Amino acid sequence: MSVVILDFGSQFTRLIARRFRELGAYSVILPGSSSLERIRQENPQGIVLSGGPSSVYDENAPKPAPGVLDLNIPILGVCYGMQYLAQQAGGDVKRAGKREYGKADLTEYSGDLFRGIQGEFVAWMSHSDSVTQLPQGYEVCAKTEDTPVTGIQNTGTKRYGVQFHPEVVHTPKGGQLLANFLDICGVTRDWNAEHIVEELVADVQKQVGNGKVLLAISGGVDSSTLALLLAKAVGERLTAVFIDHGLLRLGEREQVEAALKPLGVNLVTVDARQQFLGELAGVDDPEQKRKIIGREFIRAFERETAKLGSFDFLAQGTLYPDVIESAGGPHSDKSGAANIKSHHNVGGLPEDLNFKLVEPFRTLFKDEVREIARLLGLPEHIRMRHPFPGPGLAIRCLGEVTEEKLDILRRVDDIFISGLREFGLYDGCSQALAVLTPIRSVGVMGDERTYSYTAALRAVTTDDFMTAEWARLPYDFLATMSNRIVNQVHEINRVVYDITGKPPATIEWE
Ligand SMILES: Nc1ncnc2c1ncn2[C@@H]1O[C@H](COP(=O)(O)OP(=O)(O)OP(=O)(O)O)[C@@H](O)[C@H]1O
Ligand SMILES: O=c1[nH]c(=O)c2[nH+]cn([C@@H]3O[C@H](COP(=O)(O)O)[C@@H](O)[C@H]3O)c2[nH]1
Ligand SMILES: NC(=O)CC[C@H](N)C(=O)O
Ligand SMILES: [Mg+2]
Protein backbone atom coordinates (compact mmCIF):
# COMPACT_ATOMS: atom_id res chain seq x y z
CA MET A 1 0.00 0.00 0.00
CA SER A 2 1.41 3.35 -0.94
CA VAL A 3 0.86 6.77 -2.40
CA VAL A 4 2.16 7.13 -5.94
CA ILE A 5 3.67 10.50 -6.82
CA LEU A 6 3.73 11.13 -10.55
CA ASP A 7 6.63 13.41 -11.39
CA PHE A 8 6.12 16.08 -14.03
CA GLY A 9 9.53 17.67 -13.49
CA SER A 10 9.11 19.82 -10.40
CA GLN A 11 12.17 20.73 -8.38
CA PHE A 12 10.25 19.68 -5.31
CA THR A 13 8.94 16.23 -6.22
CA ARG A 14 11.34 14.51 -3.83
CA LEU A 15 10.21 16.83 -1.08
CA ILE A 16 6.65 15.50 -1.43
CA ALA A 17 7.97 11.98 -0.82
CA ARG A 18 10.05 13.26 2.02
CA ARG A 19 7.09 14.91 3.74
CA PHE A 20 5.11 11.67 3.41
CA ARG A 21 8.01 9.76 4.99
CA GLU A 22 8.00 12.27 7.85
CA LEU A 23 4.29 11.64 8.26
CA GLY A 24 4.89 7.91 8.43
CA ALA A 25 3.51 7.11 4.97
CA TYR A 26 5.17 5.05 2.28
CA SER A 27 5.24 6.63 -1.18
CA VAL A 28 6.82 5.91 -4.54
CA ILE A 29 7.86 8.47 -7.16
CA LEU A 30 7.22 7.39 -10.74
CA PRO A 31 7.72 9.30 -14.00
CA GLY A 32 4.61 11.29 -14.92
CA SER A 33 4.05 9.19 -18.04
CA SER A 34 4.12 5.78 -16.26
CA SER A 35 1.62 3.24 -17.57
CA LEU A 36 -1.51 2.41 -15.66
CA GLU A 37 -0.19 -1.10 -15.20
CA ARG A 38 3.04 0.17 -13.63
CA ILE A 39 1.09 2.42 -11.27
CA ARG A 40 -1.22 -0.43 -10.28
CA GLN A 41 1.80 -2.57 -9.30
CA GLU A 42 2.31 -0.18 -6.41
CA ASN A 43 -1.19 -0.82 -5.17
CA PRO A 44 -1.76 2.90 -4.54
CA GLN A 45 -4.32 4.27 -2.14
CA GLY A 46 -3.84 7.76 -3.50
CA ILE A 47 -2.02 9.64 -6.25
CA VAL A 48 -0.22 12.97 -6.24
CA LEU A 49 0.37 14.79 -9.52
CA SER A 50 3.48 16.93 -8.99
CA GLY A 51 4.23 20.42 -10.26
CA GLY A 52 6.34 20.98 -13.33
CA PRO A 53 7.77 23.58 -15.69
CA SER A 54 5.31 22.93 -18.56
CA SER A 55 1.94 24.59 -19.12
CA VAL A 56 -1.03 22.27 -19.51
CA TYR A 57 -2.12 24.04 -22.71
CA ASP A 58 1.28 23.41 -24.40
CA GLU A 59 1.11 21.01 -27.30
CA ASN A 60 3.53 18.55 -25.75
CA ALA A 61 2.51 19.04 -22.14
CA PRO A 62 3.23 15.86 -20.17
CA LYS A 63 0.17 13.91 -19.06
CA PRO A 64 -0.60 10.91 -16.93
CA ALA A 65 -1.35 7.72 -18.90
CA PRO A 66 -4.95 7.12 -20.00
CA GLY A 67 -7.03 5.64 -17.22
CA VAL A 68 -5.06 7.16 -14.33
CA LEU A 69 -7.69 9.78 -13.63
CA ASP A 70 -10.37 7.09 -13.71
CA LEU A 71 -8.81 5.16 -10.83
CA ASN A 72 -11.23 5.14 -7.97
CA ILE A 73 -8.77 6.60 -5.43
CA PRO A 74 -8.15 10.15 -4.19
CA ILE A 75 -5.90 12.37 -6.32
CA LEU A 76 -4.09 15.52 -5.25
CA GLY A 77 -2.72 17.82 -7.93
CA VAL A 78 0.01 20.26 -6.93
CA CYS A 79 0.47 23.37 -9.11
CA TYR A 80 0.89 21.88 -12.60
CA GLY A 81 -0.96 18.83 -11.27
CA MET A 82 -3.92 20.94 -10.16
CA GLN A 83 -3.97 22.78 -13.47
CA TYR A 84 -4.04 19.42 -15.24
CA LEU A 85 -6.92 18.14 -13.10
CA ALA A 86 -8.90 21.30 -13.79
CA GLN A 87 -8.29 21.19 -17.52
CA GLN A 88 -9.21 17.50 -17.79
CA ALA A 89 -12.50 18.06 -16.00
CA GLY A 90 -13.49 20.77 -18.49
CA GLY A 91 -12.12 23.84 -16.71
CA ASP A 92 -9.78 26.37 -18.26
CA VAL A 93 -6.17 27.28 -17.56
CA LYS A 94 -4.49 30.41 -18.85
CA ARG A 95 -1.34 32.43 -18.34
CA ALA A 96 -2.26 34.59 -15.37
CA GLY A 97 -2.29 38.35 -15.37
CA LYS A 98 -0.43 38.27 -12.10
CA ARG A 99 2.25 35.66 -11.55
CA GLU A 100 2.91 34.55 -8.00
CA TYR A 101 6.40 33.67 -6.87
CA GLY A 102 7.27 33.31 -3.21
CA LYS A 103 5.00 33.67 -0.23
CA ALA A 104 1.30 34.43 -0.48
CA ASP A 105 -1.38 34.47 2.20
CA LEU A 106 -4.54 32.46 1.68
CA THR A 107 -7.41 34.89 2.16
CA GLU A 108 -9.92 32.04 2.49
CA TYR A 109 -9.63 28.31 2.89
CA SER A 110 -11.93 25.46 3.86
CA GLY A 111 -12.76 21.84 3.13
CA ASP A 112 -11.21 18.40 3.62
CA LEU A 113 -7.64 19.36 2.77
CA PHE A 114 -7.65 22.11 5.39
CA ARG A 115 -9.35 20.15 8.17
CA GLY A 116 -8.03 21.15 11.59
CA ILE A 117 -5.96 24.03 10.21
CA GLN A 118 -6.59 27.39 11.82
CA GLY A 119 -5.30 30.94 11.60
CA GLU A 120 -3.16 32.39 8.85
CA PHE A 121 -2.02 30.06 6.09
CA VAL A 122 1.17 31.12 4.33
CA ALA A 123 1.51 29.35 0.99
CA TRP A 124 4.65 29.24 -1.15
CA MET A 125 3.90 29.83 -4.82
CA SER A 126 5.81 29.41 -8.05
CA HIS A 127 3.49 29.71 -11.04
CA SER A 128 2.57 31.81 -14.02
CA ASP A 129 -0.57 29.92 -15.11
CA SER A 130 -3.88 29.87 -13.25
CA VAL A 131 -7.20 28.07 -13.37
CA THR A 132 -9.50 30.68 -14.91
CA GLN A 133 -12.64 28.60 -15.16
CA LEU A 134 -13.69 26.07 -12.59
CA PRO A 135 -14.59 22.64 -13.97
CA GLN A 136 -18.00 21.14 -13.25
CA GLY A 137 -18.33 19.24 -10.03
CA TYR A 138 -15.50 21.23 -8.42
CA GLU A 139 -15.63 24.02 -5.88
CA VAL A 140 -13.00 26.51 -4.80
CA CYS A 141 -11.49 25.67 -1.41
CA ALA A 142 -8.71 28.29 -1.21
CA LYS A 143 -8.04 31.80 -2.52
CA THR A 144 -5.32 34.41 -2.42
CA GLU A 145 -5.67 38.06 -3.29
CA ASP A 146 -4.19 37.55 -6.76
CA THR A 147 -5.49 34.06 -7.50
CA PRO A 148 -9.17 33.43 -6.85
CA VAL A 149 -8.73 29.71 -7.64
CA THR A 150 -5.85 28.62 -5.40
CA GLY A 151 -7.41 25.38 -4.21
CA ILE A 152 -10.09 23.15 -5.76
CA GLN A 153 -11.98 20.10 -4.59
CA ASN A 154 -14.50 17.61 -5.83
CA THR A 155 -15.49 15.73 -2.71
CA GLY A 156 -17.62 13.25 -4.68
CA THR A 157 -14.72 11.93 -6.79
CA LYS A 158 -12.11 12.87 -4.18
CA ARG A 159 -10.11 15.03 -6.56
CA TYR A 160 -8.16 17.89 -4.96
CA GLY A 161 -5.79 20.53 -6.22
CA VAL A 162 -3.63 23.28 -4.77
CA GLN A 163 -1.85 25.98 -6.73
CA PHE A 164 0.82 26.39 -4.03
CA HIS A 165 3.48 23.92 -2.87
CA PRO A 166 2.50 22.31 0.44
CA GLU A 167 5.73 20.25 0.40
CA VAL A 168 8.23 23.11 0.90
CA VAL A 169 9.19 24.39 4.35
CA HIS A 170 8.09 27.87 3.32
CA THR A 171 4.49 26.60 3.49
CA PRO A 172 4.56 26.02 7.25
CA LYS A 173 1.16 24.35 7.48
CA GLY A 174 1.68 22.31 4.31
CA GLY A 175 2.56 19.21 6.33
CA GLN A 176 -0.88 19.26 7.94
CA LEU A 177 -2.48 19.59 4.52
CA LEU A 178 -0.54 16.56 3.23
CA ALA A 179 -1.48 14.65 6.39
CA ASN A 180 -5.13 15.44 5.67
CA PHE A 181 -4.70 14.07 2.16
CA LEU A 182 -3.25 10.86 3.60
CA ASP A 183 -6.28 10.58 5.85
CA ILE A 184 -8.60 11.07 2.87
CA CYS A 185 -6.72 8.20 1.17
CA GLY A 186 -6.99 6.05 4.31
CA VAL A 187 -3.23 5.49 4.38
CA THR A 188 -1.95 3.88 7.57
CA ARG A 189 0.93 5.90 8.89
CA ASP A 190 3.28 3.25 10.21
CA TRP A 191 6.22 3.79 7.86
CA ASN A 192 9.32 4.70 9.87
CA ALA A 193 13.10 4.60 9.86
CA GLU A 194 13.00 0.89 10.78
CA HIS A 195 11.02 0.11 7.65
CA ILE A 196 13.34 2.26 5.59
CA VAL A 197 16.34 0.33 6.91
CA GLU A 198 14.65 -3.00 6.17
CA GLU A 199 13.80 -1.87 2.69
CA LEU A 200 17.28 -0.51 2.00
CA VAL A 201 18.90 -3.72 3.26
CA ALA A 202 16.60 -5.82 1.04
CA ASP A 203 17.32 -3.60 -1.97
CA VAL A 204 21.09 -3.87 -1.47
CA GLN A 205 20.86 -7.66 -1.13
CA LYS A 206 18.85 -7.84 -4.31
CA GLN A 207 21.29 -5.64 -6.22
CA VAL A 208 24.50 -7.23 -4.97
CA GLY A 209 23.57 -10.91 -4.79
CA ASN A 210 26.73 -12.78 -3.77
CA GLY A 211 29.01 -10.02 -5.04
CA LYS A 212 31.70 -8.22 -3.06
CA VAL A 213 31.31 -4.56 -2.15
CA LEU A 214 34.01 -1.93 -1.81
CA LEU A 215 32.75 0.94 0.32
CA ALA A 216 34.21 4.41 -0.17
CA ILE A 217 34.35 5.62 3.42
CA SER A 218 35.35 9.08 4.62
CA GLY A 219 34.50 8.94 8.32
CA GLY A 220 31.61 11.31 7.56
CA VAL A 221 28.00 10.75 8.51
CA ASP A 222 26.75 9.26 5.25
CA SER A 223 29.45 6.73 4.51
CA SER A 224 29.78 5.66 8.17
CA THR A 225 26.03 5.06 8.37
CA LEU A 226 26.27 3.20 5.09
CA ALA A 227 29.01 0.99 6.56
CA LEU A 228 26.59 -0.17 9.26
CA LEU A 229 23.79 -0.70 6.77
CA LEU A 230 26.02 -2.68 4.40
CA ALA A 231 27.40 -4.78 7.25
CA LYS A 232 23.79 -5.83 7.86
CA ALA A 233 23.16 -6.47 4.18
CA VAL A 234 26.32 -8.22 2.96
CA GLY A 235 28.30 -8.99 6.14
CA GLU A 236 31.84 -10.16 5.45
CA ARG A 237 31.69 -9.36 1.76
CA LEU A 238 32.29 -5.71 2.60
CA THR A 239 35.63 -3.87 2.58
CA ALA A 240 35.77 -0.17 3.40
CA VAL A 241 38.47 1.99 1.81
CA PHE A 242 39.42 5.39 3.22
CA ILE A 243 41.51 7.55 0.90
CA ASP A 244 43.99 10.05 2.28
CA HIS A 245 44.22 12.35 -0.73
CA GLY A 246 46.32 14.97 1.00
CA LEU A 247 43.26 17.24 1.18
CA LEU A 248 42.20 16.23 4.69
CA ARG A 249 42.18 18.47 7.75
CA LEU A 250 44.74 18.59 10.54
CA GLY A 251 45.01 15.15 12.17
CA GLU A 252 41.95 13.89 10.28
CA ARG A 253 43.41 10.63 9.02
CA GLU A 254 44.26 9.42 12.51
CA GLN A 255 40.94 10.64 13.91
CA VAL A 256 38.91 8.88 11.23
CA GLU A 257 40.82 5.63 11.67
CA ALA A 258 40.28 5.74 15.42
CA ALA A 259 36.58 6.57 15.06
CA LEU A 260 35.86 3.84 12.52
CA LYS A 261 37.70 1.07 14.35
CA PRO A 262 34.93 0.42 16.90
CA LEU A 263 32.40 -0.02 14.07
CA GLY A 264 34.00 -3.39 13.38
CA VAL A 265 34.22 -2.80 9.62
CA ASN A 266 37.14 -4.18 7.65
CA LEU A 267 38.99 -0.90 6.91
CA VAL A 268 41.86 -0.17 4.52
CA THR A 269 43.51 3.26 4.44
CA VAL A 270 45.15 4.29 1.18
CA ASP A 271 47.82 6.94 0.98
CA ALA A 272 47.13 8.64 -2.36
CA ARG A 273 48.49 12.06 -1.48
CA GLN A 274 51.11 12.28 -4.19
CA GLN A 275 48.77 11.11 -6.86
CA PHE A 276 46.01 13.64 -6.09
CA LEU A 277 48.28 16.60 -5.51
CA GLY A 278 50.28 15.76 -8.63
CA GLU A 279 47.16 15.70 -10.79
CA LEU A 280 45.88 18.94 -9.27
CA ALA A 281 49.12 20.85 -9.82
CA GLY A 282 48.62 23.93 -11.97
CA VAL A 283 44.82 23.58 -12.15
CA ASP A 284 42.73 26.50 -10.90
CA ASP A 285 39.28 26.01 -12.42
CA PRO A 286 36.81 24.73 -9.77
CA GLU A 287 34.96 22.34 -12.08
CA GLN A 288 38.19 20.96 -13.46
CA LYS A 289 39.49 20.42 -9.93
CA ARG A 290 36.31 18.55 -9.01
CA LYS A 291 36.47 16.34 -12.09
CA ILE A 292 40.11 15.46 -11.45
CA ILE A 293 39.30 14.56 -7.86
CA GLY A 294 36.29 12.44 -8.89
CA ARG A 295 38.44 10.59 -11.38
CA GLU A 296 41.37 10.08 -9.02
CA PHE A 297 39.08 8.66 -6.34
CA ILE A 298 37.95 6.00 -8.81
CA ARG A 299 41.50 5.29 -9.98
CA ALA A 300 42.52 4.82 -6.35
CA PHE A 301 39.64 2.38 -5.77
CA GLU A 302 40.60 0.48 -8.92
CA ARG A 303 44.18 0.12 -7.71
CA GLU A 304 42.97 -1.19 -4.36
CA THR A 305 40.68 -3.63 -6.11
CA ALA A 306 43.65 -4.99 -8.01
CA LYS A 307 45.35 -5.65 -4.66
CA LEU A 308 42.37 -6.89 -2.66
CA GLY A 309 40.73 -9.14 -5.25
CA SER A 310 37.86 -8.34 -7.56
CA PHE A 311 34.99 -6.10 -6.53
CA ASP A 312 32.04 -5.52 -8.81
CA PHE A 313 30.35 -2.99 -6.59
CA LEU A 314 31.40 0.38 -5.28
CA ALA A 315 29.24 1.78 -2.49
CA GLN A 316 29.10 5.52 -1.81
CA GLY A 317 27.17 7.60 0.70
CA THR A 318 25.66 9.77 -2.03
CA LEU A 319 22.65 11.86 -0.94
CA TYR A 320 19.95 13.56 -2.98
CA PRO A 321 21.48 17.09 -2.85
CA ASP A 322 24.72 15.71 -4.38
CA VAL A 323 22.66 14.31 -7.24
CA ILE A 324 20.47 17.32 -7.97
CA GLU A 325 23.37 19.80 -7.89
CA SER A 326 25.39 17.62 -10.27
CA ALA A 327 22.52 17.45 -12.79
CA GLY A 328 23.45 16.78 -16.37
CA GLY A 329 26.73 14.94 -15.69
CA PRO A 330 27.44 11.34 -16.69
CA HIS A 331 26.20 9.74 -13.45
CA SER A 332 23.53 12.23 -12.48
CA ASP A 333 19.77 12.09 -12.91
CA LYS A 334 18.34 13.36 -16.15
CA SER A 335 16.01 15.70 -14.33
CA GLY A 336 16.44 18.77 -16.50
CA ALA A 337 17.82 20.71 -13.52
CA ALA A 338 20.85 22.99 -13.89
CA ASN A 339 24.42 21.92 -13.13
CA ILE A 340 25.53 23.88 -10.10
CA LYS A 341 28.71 22.01 -9.28
CA SER A 342 29.94 18.50 -9.99
CA HIS A 343 29.99 16.64 -6.69
CA HIS A 344 33.01 14.34 -6.84
CA ASN A 345 30.85 11.26 -6.20
CA VAL A 346 28.27 11.99 -8.90
CA GLY A 347 29.01 14.53 -11.65
CA GLY A 348 32.76 14.24 -11.03
CA LEU A 349 32.90 10.48 -11.71
CA PRO A 350 34.72 9.43 -14.88
CA GLU A 351 32.68 8.12 -17.82
CA ASP A 352 34.60 4.83 -17.87
CA LEU A 353 33.47 3.60 -14.48
CA ASN A 354 34.12 -0.12 -14.06
CA PHE A 355 32.13 -0.53 -10.87
CA LYS A 356 28.41 -0.84 -10.39
CA LEU A 357 27.40 1.84 -7.91
CA VAL A 358 25.56 0.95 -4.71
CA GLU A 359 24.01 4.14 -3.34
CA PRO A 360 21.12 3.36 -1.02
CA PHE A 361 20.86 6.96 0.27
CA ARG A 362 20.63 8.53 -3.18
CA THR A 363 17.05 9.70 -2.64
CA LEU A 364 17.45 10.78 0.99
CA PHE A 365 18.43 13.99 2.76
CA LYS A 366 21.05 14.42 5.47
CA ASP A 367 18.66 14.59 8.43
CA GLU A 368 17.00 11.37 7.29
CA VAL A 369 20.35 9.61 7.11
CA ARG A 370 21.01 10.84 10.65
CA GLU A 371 17.76 9.14 11.76
CA ILE A 372 18.89 5.89 10.15
CA ALA A 373 22.27 6.33 11.85
CA ARG A 374 20.55 6.64 15.22
CA LEU A 375 18.70 3.40 14.60
CA LEU A 376 21.83 1.57 13.51
CA GLY A 377 23.70 2.77 16.59
CA LEU A 378 26.31 5.04 15.00
CA PRO A 379 28.20 6.84 17.80
CA GLU A 380 26.86 10.36 18.39
CA HIS A 381 30.14 12.14 17.66
CA ILE A 382 30.10 10.74 14.11
CA ARG A 383 26.34 11.06 13.67
CA MET A 384 26.32 14.78 14.46
CA ARG A 385 29.62 15.65 12.78
CA HIS A 386 29.49 18.53 10.33
CA PRO A 387 29.69 17.32 6.74
CA PHE A 388 33.08 17.52 5.07
CA PRO A 389 33.12 17.33 1.28
CA GLY A 390 34.94 14.52 -0.52
CA PRO A 391 37.19 16.96 -2.46
CA GLY A 392 38.19 18.26 0.98
CA LEU A 393 40.37 21.34 1.31
CA ALA A 394 40.90 21.48 -2.47
CA ILE A 395 37.60 23.34 -2.93
CA ARG A 396 38.35 25.66 0.00
CA CYS A 397 41.80 26.58 -1.30
CA LEU A 398 40.59 28.86 -4.05
CA GLY A 399 42.47 28.58 -7.32
CA GLU A 400 45.51 26.36 -7.61
CA VAL A 401 46.06 23.88 -4.78
CA THR A 402 49.58 23.70 -3.38
CA GLU A 403 51.08 22.01 -0.33
CA GLU A 404 51.93 25.42 1.06
CA LYS A 405 48.37 26.74 0.78
CA LEU A 406 46.92 23.52 2.20
CA ASP A 407 49.20 23.84 5.18
CA ILE A 408 48.00 27.40 5.84
CA LEU A 409 44.35 26.45 5.45
CA ARG A 410 44.71 23.43 7.76
CA ARG A 411 45.92 25.64 10.58
CA VAL A 412 43.16 28.25 10.05
CA ASP A 413 40.47 25.56 9.87
CA ASP A 414 41.72 23.89 13.02
CA ILE A 415 41.61 27.14 15.01
CA PHE A 416 38.06 27.88 13.82
CA ILE A 417 36.58 24.42 14.33
CA SER A 418 38.28 23.88 17.71
CA GLY A 419 37.11 27.36 18.69
CA LEU A 420 33.49 26.51 17.84
CA ARG A 421 33.74 23.43 20.07
CA GLU A 422 35.49 25.32 22.87
CA PHE A 423 32.78 28.02 22.88
CA GLY A 424 29.93 25.47 22.68
CA LEU A 425 28.85 26.74 19.25
CA TYR A 426 29.64 23.68 17.10
CA ASP A 427 26.30 21.90 17.49
CA GLY A 428 24.34 25.10 16.78
CA CYS A 429 25.82 25.25 13.27
CA SER A 430 25.08 22.73 10.54
CA GLN A 431 28.45 23.20 8.90
CA ALA A 432 31.44 25.45 9.44
CA LEU A 433 34.54 25.89 7.35
CA ALA A 434 37.49 28.08 6.53
CA VAL A 435 38.49 29.21 3.05
CA LEU A 436 41.90 30.40 1.91
CA THR A 437 41.33 33.14 -0.66
CA PRO A 438 43.94 34.17 -3.23
CA ILE A 439 43.46 37.79 -2.13
CA ARG A 440 46.52 39.42 -0.59
CA SER A 441 46.21 42.72 1.13
CA VAL A 442 48.27 45.18 3.07
CA GLY A 443 48.41 45.09 6.85
CA VAL A 444 50.59 46.34 9.66
CA MET A 445 51.96 44.01 12.31
CA GLY A 446 54.66 44.84 14.83
CA ASP A 447 55.01 48.22 13.10
CA GLU A 448 55.90 46.45 9.89
CA ARG A 449 54.06 46.29 6.63
CA THR A 450 52.58 42.93 5.74
CA TYR A 451 51.24 41.78 2.41
CA SER A 452 49.50 38.50 3.14
CA TYR A 453 46.50 36.30 2.43
CA THR A 454 42.89 36.76 3.49
CA ALA A 455 41.10 33.87 5.19
CA ALA A 456 37.31 33.61 5.12
CA LEU A 457 35.25 31.87 7.77
CA ARG A 458 31.84 30.45 6.98
CA ALA A 459 29.21 28.83 9.21
CA VAL A 460 25.68 27.95 8.14
CA THR A 461 22.46 26.54 9.54
CA THR A 462 20.27 24.28 7.43
CA ASP A 463 18.23 21.08 7.63
CA ASP A 464 18.83 19.58 4.25
CA PHE A 465 21.79 21.53 2.78
CA MET A 466 19.67 22.50 -0.24
CA THR A 467 19.18 25.98 1.20
CA ALA A 468 21.08 27.56 4.10
CA GLU A 469 21.30 30.66 6.29
CA TRP A 470 24.61 32.10 7.47
CA ALA A 471 25.00 31.43 11.18
CA ARG A 472 24.70 34.47 13.45
CA LEU A 473 27.85 33.69 15.43
CA PRO A 474 28.50 36.07 18.34
CA TYR A 475 30.79 39.02 17.53
CA ASP A 476 32.98 38.28 20.52
CA PHE A 477 33.59 34.79 19.27
CA LEU A 478 34.42 36.06 15.77
CA ALA A 479 36.77 38.61 17.29
CA THR A 480 38.57 35.87 19.22
CA MET A 481 38.87 33.73 16.10
CA SER A 482 40.21 36.60 14.01
CA ASN A 483 42.74 37.36 16.69
CA ARG A 484 43.92 33.80 17.08
CA ILE A 485 44.19 33.21 13.35
CA VAL A 486 46.21 36.33 12.61
CA ASN A 487 48.49 35.71 15.58
CA GLN A 488 49.06 32.02 15.01
CA VAL A 489 49.04 31.76 11.22
CA HIS A 490 51.64 34.22 10.00
CA GLU A 491 50.67 33.91 6.37
CA ILE A 492 47.26 35.50 7.16
CA ASN A 493 46.79 39.18 7.94
CA ARG A 494 43.05 39.56 7.38
CA VAL A 495 39.98 37.50 8.34
CA VAL A 496 36.47 37.93 6.93
CA TYR A 497 33.18 36.24 7.80
CA ASP A 498 30.86 35.15 4.98
CA ILE A 499 27.34 36.59 5.43
CA THR A 500 25.70 35.09 2.35
CA GLY A 501 22.89 32.56 2.33
CA LYS A 502 22.34 29.67 -0.10
CA PRO A 503 20.91 30.74 -2.49
CA PRO A 504 22.39 32.99 -3.81
CA ALA A 505 25.76 31.56 -2.71
CA THR A 506 26.51 27.90 -2.10
CA ILE A 507 27.96 26.52 1.11
CA GLU A 508 31.41 25.75 -0.29
CA TRP A 509 33.16 28.51 -2.22
CA GLU A 510 34.01 26.30 -5.21
N1 LIG B 1 38.42 10.39 1.76
C2 LIG B 1 37.51 9.56 1.26
N3 LIG B 1 37.80 8.24 1.07
C4 LIG B 1 36.89 7.40 0.55
N5 LIG B 1 35.66 7.78 0.19
C6 LIG B 1 35.31 9.05 0.33
C7 LIG B 1 36.20 10.02 0.88
N8 LIG B 1 35.56 11.20 0.93
C9 LIG B 1 34.33 11.00 0.43
N10 LIG B 1 34.16 9.71 0.07
C11 LIG B 1 32.95 9.11 -0.55
O12 LIG B 1 32.18 10.14 -1.13
C13 LIG B 1 30.88 10.15 -0.55
C14 LIG B 1 30.31 11.55 -0.52
O15 LIG B 1 31.03 12.35 0.41
P16 LIG B 1 30.23 13.22 1.45
O17 LIG B 1 31.19 14.10 2.13
O18 LIG B 1 29.04 13.79 0.77
O19 LIG B 1 29.65 12.13 2.46
P20 LIG B 1 30.28 11.61 3.82
O21 LIG B 1 31.68 12.00 3.89
O22 LIG B 1 30.01 10.16 3.94
O23 LIG B 1 29.43 12.35 4.90
P24 LIG B 1 29.51 13.89 5.31
O25 LIG B 1 28.59 14.57 4.32
O26 LIG B 1 28.99 13.89 6.67
O27 LIG B 1 30.91 14.35 5.19
C28 LIG B 1 31.07 9.53 0.80
O29 LIG B 1 29.85 9.05 1.31
C30 LIG B 1 32.07 8.44 0.49
O31 LIG B 1 31.41 7.33 -0.09
O1 LIG C 1 31.16 14.80 -0.80
C2 LIG C 1 30.97 15.88 -1.35
N3 LIG C 1 31.49 16.03 -2.58
C4 LIG C 1 31.43 17.18 -3.27
O5 LIG C 1 31.93 17.27 -4.38
C6 LIG C 1 30.75 18.26 -2.59
N7 LIG C 1 30.49 19.53 -2.96
C8 LIG C 1 29.80 20.10 -1.90
N9 LIG C 1 29.62 19.20 -0.95
C10 LIG C 1 28.88 19.36 0.30
O11 LIG C 1 27.51 19.42 -0.06
C12 LIG C 1 26.81 20.37 0.75
C13 LIG C 1 26.21 21.45 -0.13
O14 LIG C 1 27.29 22.19 -0.63
P15 LIG C 1 27.20 23.42 -1.62
O16 LIG C 1 26.15 24.32 -1.08
O17 LIG C 1 28.55 24.02 -1.65
O18 LIG C 1 26.81 22.84 -2.95
C19 LIG C 1 27.83 20.90 1.73
O20 LIG C 1 27.72 20.13 2.91
C21 LIG C 1 29.15 20.66 1.03
O22 LIG C 1 30.25 20.52 1.93
C23 LIG C 1 30.19 18.05 -1.34
N24 LIG C 1 30.28 16.87 -0.73
N1 LIG D 1 5.38 25.02 -10.31
C2 LIG D 1 4.52 24.59 -11.27
O3 LIG D 1 4.05 23.46 -11.25
C4 LIG D 1 4.25 25.55 -12.39
C5 LIG D 1 3.17 25.08 -13.32
C6 LIG D 1 3.06 25.95 -14.55
N7 LIG D 1 4.25 25.83 -15.33
C8 LIG D 1 2.84 27.42 -14.14
O9 LIG D 1 3.67 28.23 -14.42
O10 LIG D 1 1.85 27.74 -13.53
MG1 LIG E 1 32.33 13.88 3.76
Predicted local distance difference test score (pLDDT) of residue 330? 57
Put the strands of the sheet holding 139-144 in their side by side order: 27-31, 2-7, 44-49, 75-78, 159-162, 151-154, 139-144, 92-109, 122-133
Residue 329's alpha-carbon distances to 53, 295, 316, 339, 342, in angstroms, are 21, 13, 17, 8, 7
How remote is the CA of residue 389 from the centroid of ligand 4, in Å? 4
Q: What is the ipTM of this complex?
A: 0.90
Predicted local distance difference test score (pLDDT) of residue 503? 79
What pTM value is reported for the model?
A: 0.81
Of 137-146, 192-201, 412-421, the least confident: 192-201
What percent of the chain stands above pLDDT 70? 98
Residue 107's alpha-carbon distances to 89, 104, 144, 146, 149, in angstroms, are 25, 9, 5, 10, 11
| Average pLDDT of the segment spanning 227-234 | 97
Q: Alpha helix locations (H) across 209-266? A: 221-234, 252-260
Evaluate whether 215 touches 237 at the Cβ level (below 8 Å): no
Question: Which residues surround ligand 3 with Cβ inside 6 Å?
Answer: 10, 51-55, 79-80, 126-129
How remote is the CA of residue 160 from the centroid of ligand 3, in Å? 16
Predicted local distance difference test score (pLDDT) of residue 201? 97
What percent of the chain stands above pLDDT 90? 82
| pLDDT higher than threshold 90 for residue 340 | no
Q: From the alpha carbon of 244, which atom of ligand 1 is closest?
A: 1
Active-site residue set: 79, 165, 167
d(CA 288, CA 498): 24
- Among protein residues, the one with the nearest Cα to ligand 3's atom 8 is 127
Mutation test residue for ligand 1: of 222, 322, 384, the one with most atoms within 8 Å of CB: 222
d(CA 39, CA 31): 10
At 191, the pLDDT band (50, 70, 90 cuts) reads confident
341 lines ligand 2 (CB under 6 A): yes
> Which of 202, 100, 83 has the alpha carbon at shortest distance from 134?
83
- Indicate the pairing of strand 159-162 with strand 151-154: antiparallel
pLDDT (tens digit per residue) in 347-377: 888 888 889 999 999 988 898 999 999 999 9
